[in-house]
Amino acid sequence: MMMKMNVVTKSIRRRERVHDILKRALSSSPSASSLTLYQYAICPFCHKAKALLSYASIPHQIVEVNPLTKAELKSLDDQTHKKVPVAVIEDQQKQINGSNEILQHLLNDPKVQQSLSDKWNGDQEMTLETFRQGEHVERWWYRYADDELASLLYPNVCRTLTDSRAAFSYVKNVHNFSPLQKIMIHNLGALAMYFAASKIKSKHNIKNEQKALQTALDIFEKEALEEGQYLFSSQRTVPDMGDLTVYGVLRSVKGLPAHDFALKESRESNILLDWYMRMEKEVEGDPDGDHHRNDDTGGDK
């Protein structure tokens, strides 16, 4: 009888320890509904924010915004901002506008910092300071993603009206859009983006959008990856924010001809593709999936 009681007591204590461990783990992580990201599925700046969220394993919800009406943004507190991405952190009652502002807020969050530290698991090659700021070369690739790569992707995604319509085919899978909205976005949105891409070409004096993208990617391949000598632009065994932002921008056009052109057709080697696949594994875990399977799948820096 005494032996049976001891066994029961040990079992109860073991369950209590497990309960305490789970309680501490859950209390140190954001809840799945605490952060909501308002996005366009093909927005490169939105994917910059998503790359960090996924890399740090931060649960989040996605709200797909109608690019024609932006109706989903009208319920937000700050009505002065009409672009995506926008992050709403409910438990902090905070709205953050713009991808760079979202990234800075996340990197200042103790929970995100702890999640990153846990991910590196004592790896001496990477610290929060190195990951966040790094040396001059890292900051350069951070800007490169915004100023060079994102600007060049738009005209490559919308080289023709057919390409532009293909880019907007994602709306077929957005459940909160009505059938009429899907038709409108697929056609009017594609037309608007096609003409917007022409304006971007004129603004940046781009004569041949594919050649310009190829040249920009050559620079990243040669200067960031040193022709394949480095696994990441961080020049370490794990990526930093420079890698994440470039990856996020390229990830935004996955499934489109511009994605294949950037990673395969424009390359003389597999250096960039190999880097991208490493990043996909680092960020997404499963190359064919995301950390946010609850989403329905132009933007602001």
Taking only the tens place, the pLDDT of each residue in 68-80 is 999 999 999 998 8
pLDDT reading at 245 higher than 60: yes
Q: How many domains does the chain have?
A: 1
The pLDDT value recorded for residue 180 is 98
Which residues partner with 88 through β-bridges? Answer: 36, 95
The pLDDT confidence band at residue 99, using thresholds 50, 70 and 90, is very high
Taking only the tens place, the pLDDT of each residue in 177-208 is 999 999 999 999 999 999 999 999 999 999 99
In a domain, 216, yes or no: yes
The pLDDT value recorded for residue 132 is 84
Query: How much is the average pLDDT of 40-44?
Result: 98
Taking only the tens place, the pLDDT of each residue in 132-142 is 865 455 568 98
In a domain, 269, yes or no: yes
The pLDDT value recorded for residue 138 is 57
pLDDT reading at 300 higher than 80: no
In a domain, 21, yes or no: no
The pLDDT value recorded for residue 97 is 97
In a domain, 65, yes or no: no
Query: How much is the average pLDDT of 108-136?
Result: 83
In a domain, 99, yes or no: no
In a domain, 301, yes or no: no
User: DSSP secondary structure string, 145-196?
Assistant: IIIIIHHHHHHHHTSSHHHHHHHGGGGGG-TTS-HHHHHHIIIIIHHHHHHH
Question: For residue 159, what are its two tokens?
Answer: 């080289």
Q: Which residue type occupies 108?
A: N
Contacts of 37 (CB under 8 A, 6+ apart): 46, 49, 50, 53, 60, 61, 62, 63, 85, 86, 87, 102
Domain limits for position 222? 126-284
Q: Are 87 and 37 in contact (CB under 8 A)?
A: yes
Question: For residue 166, what are its two tokens?
Answer: 């293909």
Q: What CATH number is associated with residue 260?
A: 1.20.1050.10
In a domain, 297, yes or no: no
The per-residue pLDDT of the chain, averaged, comes to 86
Question: For residue 266, what are its two tokens?
Answer: 């424009």
The pLDDT value recorded for residue 140 is 84
- Edge-to-edge, what's the strand order for the sheet holding 86-89? 61-64, 35-39, 86-89, 94-97
Residue burial 233-259, b: 16+ Cβ < 10 Å; e: rest: bbbbebbbbbbbbbbbbbbbbeebbbb
Cα separation, 152 vs 197, whole angstroms = 9
DSSP tag of 264: I
pLDDT reading at 105 higher than 90: yes
In a domain, 46, yes or no: no
Residue burial 103-133, b: 16+ Cβ < 10 Å; e: rest: bebbbebeebbebbbeeeeeeeebeeebbbe
Query: How much is the average pLDDT of 235-260?
Result: 96
Query: Which tops the pLDDT comparison, 40 or 6?
Result: 40
Taking only the tens place, the pLDDT of each residue in 1-37 is 444 434 444 444 444 443 443 333 333 344 444 899 9
Residue for token pair 């929970």:
111
The pLDDT value recorded for residue 25 is 36
Cα separation, 176 vs 296, whole angstroms = 8
Among candidate residues 55, 39, 40, the one with its CA nearest the CA of residue 242: 55
Query: How much is the average pLDDT of 218-229?
Result: 96
Q: Which pTM does this prediction carry?
A: 0.84
